[in-house]
Amino acid sequence: MSRLKVTIDGNNAAAYIAHKTNEVIAIYPITPSSDMGELADQFSAEGKKNIWNTVPTVIEMQSEGGAAGALHGALQLGSLGTTFTASQGLLLMIPNMYKIAGELSPTVFHIAARSLAAQALSIFGDHSDVMSTRSTGWGLISSNNPQEVMDLALITQAATLESRIPFLHFFDGFRTSHEVRKIEQVSDDDIRAMINEELIFEHRRRALSPDNPVIRGTAQNPDVFFQGRETVNSFYLRTPKIVQSAMDRFAKLTGRQYKLFDYVGSPEAERVIVLMGSGADTAEETVDYMRGNNEDVGILKVRMYRPFSVEHLINAIPKNVKSIAVLDRTKEPGSIGEPLYQDIVTAFTESLDSDNAKFKSLPTIIGGRYGLSSKEFTPAMVKAVFDELKKSRPKNHFTVGIIDDVTKTNLEFDTEFDIEPEETIRAMFFGLGADGTVGANKNSIKIIGEETDNYAQGYFVYDSKKSGSRTTSHLRFGKKPIKSTYLISKANFIACHQEVFLEKMDMLKYAIKGATFLVNTQYPEDKVWDKLPKRVQEQIVEKKIKLFVIDGYKVAHETGMGGRVNTIMQTCFFAISGVLPKDEAIAKIKDAIKKTYGSKGDEVVQMNFNAVDKTVENLHEVEIPGKVTSTIEMPPVVPENAPDYVKNVTAEIIAGRGDWLPVSKMPIDGTFPTATTQWEKRNIATEVPVWDPEVCIQCGKCVNVCPHATIRQKVYDPKLLEGAPETFKATDYRGREFPGMKYTLQVAVEDCTGCELCVEVCPAKNKKETRLKAINMHPQHPLREKERKNWDFFLNIPEIDRRKLKVDTIKGSQFLEPLFEFSGACAACGETPYVKLVSQLYGDRMLVANATGCSSIYGGNLPTTPWAKNKDGRGPAWSNSLFEDNAEFGLGMRLSIDKNTEFARELVDTLQTEIGDELANAILNAEQKDEAEIYEQRQRVEDLKKKLDTIDKPQAKQLLNVANYLIKKSVWIMGGDGWAYDIGYGGLDHVLASGKNVNILVLDTEVYSNTGGQMSKATPRAAVAKFAASGKPLPKKDLALIAMIYRDVYVAKIAMGSNDVHTVKAIIEAEKYDGPSLIIAYSHCIAHGINMAKGMENQKAAVDCGHWPLFRYNPDNRKEGKKALSLDSKPPKIPFEKYAYMENRFKMLTKSHPDTAKKLIKLAQQDTDYRYHLIEKMADILDGKINGQNGNQ
Amino acid sequence: MDLTTTYLGLKLINPIVPSASPLSNEIENLKKMEAEGAAAVVLESLFEEQIKHESKELDHYLQFGAESFAEAVTYFPQASEYRIGPEEYLEHIRMAKEAIDIPVIASLNGVTVGGWIDYSRKMEQAGADALELNIYYIPTNPRLSGVEVENLYIDILKAVKSAVKIPVAMKLSPFFSSLAHFTRRLDENGVDGLVLFNRFYQPDINLDELEVAPNVILSTPHAMRLPLRWIAILYDKINADFAATSGIHNAQDVIKMLMAGANVTMMCSALLRNGISHITTVLHGMKLWMEEHEYDSINLMQGSMSQKNVADPSSFERANYQKALQSYRPNV
């Protein structure tokens, strides 16, 4: 039977089977598994049915724990249920997994295996999550590539029904979950043939039902629990045969035979590697190569790791084996060895204990770790392991793929060892996130995979920035099956989609001799050579590289494509590579365009067609002069004056050489220096703001909104202008508070993202040319050198004394030094201006507990850290615990501070005589309620420390250790709405009820932004989000009102774009309040589908329509008999619709589900009216205006 | 009393036609218009610019930020189809045709001969009884001649006429150097009716923000003078029917326009101001006036005050202005 060939990734393959074979799907987004849930939801939204001809129900839960709980319930009621998760999400499911297995409920959870957070979080792939579930009683089945994902997902589904053992079906996060491959799709008939319907009936018969009532989940005592636990043994014993039998049935249907342990290699092999996951494909490719060189080697792919079948394992191992290396993609610190290794050793040991044992003695078995957090695993590493096995005393507990210069665990490997078949075409594309490179390559690989007889593979690497991010696409195709599950290191075709990369990255180091290099450049074919850096020219000449150029941006501009060169560069690739005859290729590209863009209207299709047609005539080959002429050198990664750590470690990571940093260079406990983004001059903006002092009114609004702290103001003594660079701008300060002083607004052009938020909020207009403001965008490149000097000069101007500033104003607060700068957040991010503002106000005495999400990524993802320090070396100390526990984490910080402060005060009291009454009393009685008082307390504590040095008492040493706690600390618990409204809500609620002095800042984007726009309970009605493709049918949860019910919680809703002064005031009040404070900040977001430059206008509209009423509820006022709730925004003056349809998240529903859109937008208006009236009435109640009751009591 | 008239070959029960306005977006309003006596309705325009813009905008925002970051490869769920452009409008035509019995005139607003011409065919298929082409074009290019601008209109007319069988009217602005000559060209190219005149929304300046602030100002009664003059001038000189629009607020205005030569009169601002029931008021007023002045049919008055039929044809020409001045005698 001929089956459909599809070019899809592993997530898609798993979701396809899961959706076909289940009824209830409960999910929660977590990278890299989110796509599976989203696809399942999309399939159901499109009305796609499972094999029983019904559309599965998909529900998004509040956490993975919630998803597992919901599934537990559904399974108890006899449904076929599934979920998808990874990493911490899987950990949250473990409690339910024990129950589900204990109750012998059949189900398959699909896992994109990912690292567990330890010294750091990592979104990338390894087996540490699935290995944590070994004792739950679940079966564990591993797939190594997208084809296997589809096949084994089905096999596992069939086996769970028969065995009653629940299974985790796992595959490597990113490497398999996100790798696009051409695979054969199993048909509905195949699926029906595999699933025994009678087993489903049995499952349903076991369901809880009032028609046949039983109870499950009882509590048992010492007398019977143990025996009860042993009842399941027979099920586990028969499972291996059941799974193998399912594999055999599958083989009959499709021809693809799997075994519980699949051996590949020489039957006479003496050296064998045992492993599971995507690395097995690379190992197989290497074994094929080595056998070609007459080496008797083999690998054993572990398909079913639990229940572990010793019998099947031993049968699969070749009889002559002498040494075995077991590779684990996980780490268990402190163990004898990693889990797979231990199991293999145990299995061999047990196998000896039989009369007809296959092996009479133990072979040498060594264990090693590889590939943690998607660390590359290459043929060179496989070879290194095989070479190690040749040794008489091979290294046990080794690592491969890193340099461990501390405990010397690593095996050496030859980085030049390359076994990829020459006939496989390998292409690398370097692009920017915004230019559409990855999307185009996904299209290309689909065309090659589905329109030719080539095998095809695509894998895509992104950096960890959300603005100006670089992408690298790795495409392989050819007539031979592709087993290379590692990045391309030797390419036939290299495309540079952004000219700026030429000076930043050594792309041609990947080029093989005679490779083709395609460059998107503004320079024509006869001028481009002289513009290439020396290193690029050298390699072109040396490797005889063919060079092609196109001015992709010119073509994009002329064809209305704007900044997207995707279609253009894709056309170039096909035109040059010759994968298909040119005309055929163009026809296929156009077909793909129709498929991709057809639903969005003919205009977009035609625009892309035009781009294709225009491309060919603009693509030119460059005649290569025989010699290198360039003197252009690649600039250093970080400036010369950067600290050593930054030069030695950070710079290596920035430069893409992090793989070669040895263990000794890494911090032992995940502790990194802050203030390092300042050294990573990314130069990503094509245009930057330029200040016009003549027009400027010095309001500070631009400084306030800048999400990346790249536009700053200072007021200073005119004398400081001495030695200023020629182009440094200064003007007289306007304002009475600093007479005779100078004012400068300076832009860090190398750090600016060019987002234009500053220009949009600038209220000053040039009177002669009203299109101009006090800041205007100009091309960055010509300004770079001059402004670099100006910025350095500006930084050296001393900060104004904080005590002299009116910090509750925008102008005043914006003279405070930001201690959060140059983050990797999206250009025009709506969250970071709030974060930055808090850092300005409290950064020098602030601790941050940051929930996992966007803010933890732009705030804490390597290589560099935006949390910064002032000249005194003080600044925010930051940490991220988890997604779900952030409020509790922050509370713990507070408890620690309070305890230490109390201890310090007790010691001051104890040592009062030695310290001196005056100083001791001053310290103990200091209120520290503003900057001046904090300053004074700091002085006192310094005096105290000096005194303590002279006191020879143990208490003096103790006090010295905790003296800094005598200065007030400010605890900030930050995170997004996914944390606060959903997964972390229970903890948040508890912290609100604790009475402790913490400040909770919820950066409310009304959607899970970091994982790609999934609905949260903060999502407003009528908005489209993932899992709400037909518009969210229910209103947004009102977290502020819930918090206010406690009465002793400070609550504010703020929106900087509507009222920036209100924002500052609310933050100051919240911090001042000696109890829990909750600030919910409207944060416009890229996931809203808006013009980000105008994000502040969207914020204003959200307030103007009543969706986001501004208010402050201050319990201190209540205690003083004042108005506790201040409603700070005016009654709605525009309809909700007017605000909503500024944003694609609402507007797209009018295109996808117009009737629903009409209905929901009306209901959303009612929500808005209701919310506003409710808060209005609450204000009245609290003010005693209703029924004579004074709510202030 | 016979209030019937014909417009674009359509037999109408009276000359009152609500023109394209947001009112016609709601089917309920269309039903009310019919109930109040409207003879036909013109639906709000389908804008070429809007369709192009929406298509590109949707594409832009659906992909904006996508494929940039490993955790968020996309930001929006994928829909298998989007209703971009005319589909919703076509559905509206279908629903309008089901809901009311009076003719439904669809309106198409654009400036180029492109894909949108195809929409006219779809509108016909959706059941529109006639089409009104509203070409909204401000020629700002100093190198573009008047003839070239006129040719643009002619090209669009020809393209649409060859695409559909239903009658096609063209809504024009008064800003042509030789309007009479141009309308004759349109006539020669088969236009079935002329809607005189389009009111361009004129920009304003916001002095607080120093921004250009386009805003909608409803027409006032004196706006009717311009179409009145030109309908009177063109009446019987070209074959196309005339729909008078701008500033028609009461029964007298309607009667004046009919006398100038209009086949129908179109109302927008008056209905937005006074509500849809204003149609009944106007019709009542017409009847009263006709009774009082012994007109038993609309036909009798149509064109009676056109340039061709008035005692002093020059009163519609430039002299009119001078004469108006000359006839002015201050009370001294």
pLDDT tens-digit map of A231-260: 999 999 999 999 999 999 999 999 999 999
Any CB–CB contact under 8 A between A175 and chain B? Answer: no
A540-576 pLDDT per residue, tens: 999 999 999 999 999 999 998 888 899 999 999 999 9
For B84, the closest of A46, A178, A1151 (CB atoms) is A1151
Measure the CA dihedral A906/A910/A911/A912, to 10°.
90
Given the residues A38, A60, A64, A420, the one annotated as active site:
A64
pLDDT at A1007: 98
**C-beta atoms of B72 and A599 within 8 A:** no
CA distance, residue B115 to nearest chain A CA (Å):
8
Residues in B closer than 8 angstroms to A765, CB to CB, are 210
Measure the CA dihedral A783/A784/A786/A790, to 10°.
110
* Phi then psi dihedrals of residue A834, to 5 deg: -70, -45
Q: Which helix (H) or strand (E) holds A690?
A: strand A687-691
CA distance A354 to A333: 33
Whether the per-residue pLDDT at B30 is higher than 70: the answer is yes
- Give the position of tokens 């004759």: B184
pLDDT at A1186: 57
Contact residues, A window 563-592, toward B, CB-based 8 Å cutoff? 564
Which domains does chain A carry?
5-253 (3.40.50.970), 259-411 (3.40.50.920), 425-618 (3.40.920.10), 895-966 (no CATH), 1006-1182 (3.40.50.970)
Among B271, B210, B217, B191, which Cα is nearest to B29's? B271
Domain B5-326 has CATH 3.20.20.70: yes
SS3 content of chain B, % helix, strand, coil (to 5): 45, 15, 40
Active-site annotation holds for A1047: no
Neighbour tally for A881: CB within 10 Å: 18
Residues in B closer than 8 angstroms to A460, CB to CB, are 67
- Give the position of tokens 């076994």: A419
pLDDT at B115: 62
b/e A133-165 (16+ beta carbons within 10 angstroms → b): beebbbbbbbbbbbbbbbbbbbbbbbbbbbbbb
Would you place residue B332 in the very low, low, confident or very high pLDDT band (cuts 50, 70, 90)?
Answer: very low
**C-beta atoms of A1144 and B61 within 8 A:** yes
Active-site annotation holds for A850: no
ipTM attached to this prediction: 0.92
How, if at all, do strands A398-400 and A364-370 pair? parallel
Q: What's the mean pLDDT in B52-65?
A: 87
- Listed in order, strand segments (DSSP E) in B187-321 are 193-196, 203-206, 211-214, 241-244, 264-267
Active-site annotation holds for A615: no
Whether the per-residue pLDDT at B140 is higher than 80: the answer is yes
Active-site annotation holds for A31: yes
Measure the CA dihedral A639/A645/A650/A651, to 10°.
40
A1037-1065 pLDDT per residue, tens: 999 999 999 999 999 999 999 999 999 99
CA distances for A472 relative to A288, A433, A454, A1110, B112, angstroms: 28, 9, 22, 44, 41
CA distance B130 to B96: 13
Mean of all residue pLDDT scores within chain B: 90
pLDDT at A1193: 45
Question: Is the Cβ–Cβ distance between A445 and A433 less than 8 Å?
Answer: no
Q: Which amino acid is at A775?
A: I
A399-437 pLDDT per residue, tens: 999 999 999 999 999 999 999 988 999 999 999 988 889
Q: What's the mean pLDDT in B13-33?
A: 94
pLDDT at B43: 95
pLDDT at B323: 53
Q: What percent of chain A stands above pLDDT 70?
A: 99
* Phi then psi dihedrals of residue A298, to 5 deg: -160, 165
pLDDT at B22: 87
Chain A residue with CA closest to B71: the answer is: A1011
Neighbour tally for A994: CB within 10 Å: 17
Q: Which amino acid is at B287?
A: K
**Burial (Cβ within 10 Å: 0-12, 13-18, ≥19) of residue A106:** buried
Whether the per-residue pLDDT at B201 is higher than 60: the answer is yes
Given the residues A7, A12, A22, A31, the one annotated as active site:
A31
Whether the per-residue pLDDT at B200 is higher than 80: the answer is no
Given the residues A114, A271, A470, A1145, the one annotated as active site:
A114
Whether the per-residue pLDDT at A17 is higher than 60: the answer is yes
pLDDT at B189: 96
pLDDT at A1187: 52
Q: Reduced to 3 states, what is the DSSP secondary structure of residue B37?
A: coil
CA distances for B117 relative to A888, B112, B188, angstroms: 63, 9, 20
Would you place residue A132 in the very low, low, confident or very high pLDDT band (cuts 50, 70, 90)?
Answer: very high
Any CB–CB contact under 8 A between A174 and chain B? Answer: yes
At A841, list the tokens.
Answer: 């106000």
Residues in A closer than 8 angstroms to B208, CB to CB, are none
Q: Helix crossing, B278-292 with B27-36: angle to 10°? A: 20
A766-798 pLDDT per residue, tens: 999 999 999 999 999 999 999 999 999 999 999
CA distance, residue A885 to nearest chain B CA (Å):
21
pLDDT at A1191: 46
pLDDT at A1192: 46
Q: What's the mean pLDDT in B11-38?
A: 95
CA distance, residue B319 to nearest chain A CA (Å):
43
Given the residues A239, A864, A1010, A1059, the one annotated as active site:
A1010
Model pTM score: 0.94
How, if at all, do strands A84-85 and A139-143 pair? unpaired
How, if at all, do strands A970-976 and A999-1004 pair? parallel
CA distance A746 to A702: 11
**C-beta atoms of A601 and B70 within 8 A:** no
Q: Which residues pair with A689 in a beta bridge?
A: A777
Q: What's the mean pLDDT in A645-666?
A: 96
At A741, list the tokens.
Answer: 């002083």
pLDDT at A814: 98
**C-beta atoms of B67 and A857 within 8 A:** no
Residues in B closer than 8 angstroms to A1156, CB to CB, are none
* Phi then psi dihedrals of residue A922, to 5 deg: -60, -40
Q: Reduced to 3 states, what is the DSSP secondary structure of residue A290?
A: helix
Mean of all residue pLDDT scores within chain A: 96
CA distance, residue A32 to nearest chain B CA (Å):
7
Of A156-165, A723-732, B69-78, B247-256, which gets the smallest average pLDDT?
A: B69-78
CA distance A817 to A870: 8
A1064-1104 pLDDT per residue, tens: 999 999 999 999 999 999 999 999 999 999 999 999 999 99
> Could you write out the three-class secondary structure of A110-172?
EEEECCCCCCCCCCCCCCHHHHCCHHHCCEEEEECCHHHHHHHHHHHHHHHHHHCCCEEEEEE
Any CB–CB contact under 8 A between A606 and chain B? Answer: yes
**C-beta atoms of B84 and A606 within 8 A:** no
pLDDT at A354: 81
Q: What's the mean pLDDT in A35-52?
A: 95
Where does residue A1013 fall: left (phi above 0), alpha (psi -120 to 50 degrees), or beta otherwise? left
Q: Reduced to 3 states, what is the DSSP secondary structure of residue A274?
A: strand
Contact residues, A window 455-474, toward B, CB-based 8 Å cutoff? 460, 462, 464-466, 469, 471
CA distance A442 to A461: 12
